A = this chain, B = another copy of it.
Amino acid sequence: MSAIAATPEPPYYAVIFTSLQSDQLEGYGETAEAMLSLATEQPGFLGIEAAREGVGITVSYWRDLQSIRNWKQQADHREAQRRGRSDWYRAYTTRIAKVERDYSFPNPI
């Protein structure tokens, strides 16, 4: 997933998820991979970027707020969120943001 997401013309939405892991990471890797794969299948999903270096940053891009709400409520994702809070994350912040403008180098995305 080491790529820059190829998103359409704004406006669209970004979910910025910033997290600090706990030291209790059993099951994290396989769930993270499953959730990544599941996210890409959701209606309104546009792309995702992720990196972890101390702090983890995952930015997923969505067509609209309703797509984000639906993904937040998706059953397997809800269970993953529950395990995130009970086991894997010491802290996280989720920010919902409307992308108003973007530009790229060297080419338009």
Q: A82 to nearest B CB, angstroms?
A: 11
Q: Mark A70-86, 1 if CB is under 8 A from B, else 0.
A: 00000000000000110
The answer to whether B49 touches A51, judged by C-beta atoms less than 8 angstroms apart, is no
A54 located at the interface, meaning its Cβ lies under 8 Å from any Cβ of chain B in the complex = yes
CB < 8 Å neighbour of A57 from B51, B91, B109: B51
A48-101, CB < 8 A from B: 49-57, 59, 84-85, 89, 91-101
The answer to whether B97 touches A99, judged by C-beta atoms less than 8 angstroms apart, is yes
The answer to whether B55 touches A54, judged by C-beta atoms less than 8 angstroms apart, is no
CB < 8 Å neighbour of A49 from B3, B18, B101: B18
CB < 8 Å neighbour of A92 from B5, B52, B96, B105: B105
CB < 8 Å neighbour of A85 from B57, B96, B105, B107: B105
Q: A86 to nearest B CB, angstroms?
A: 11
Chain B residues closer than 8 Å to A96, beta-carbon distance: 99-102
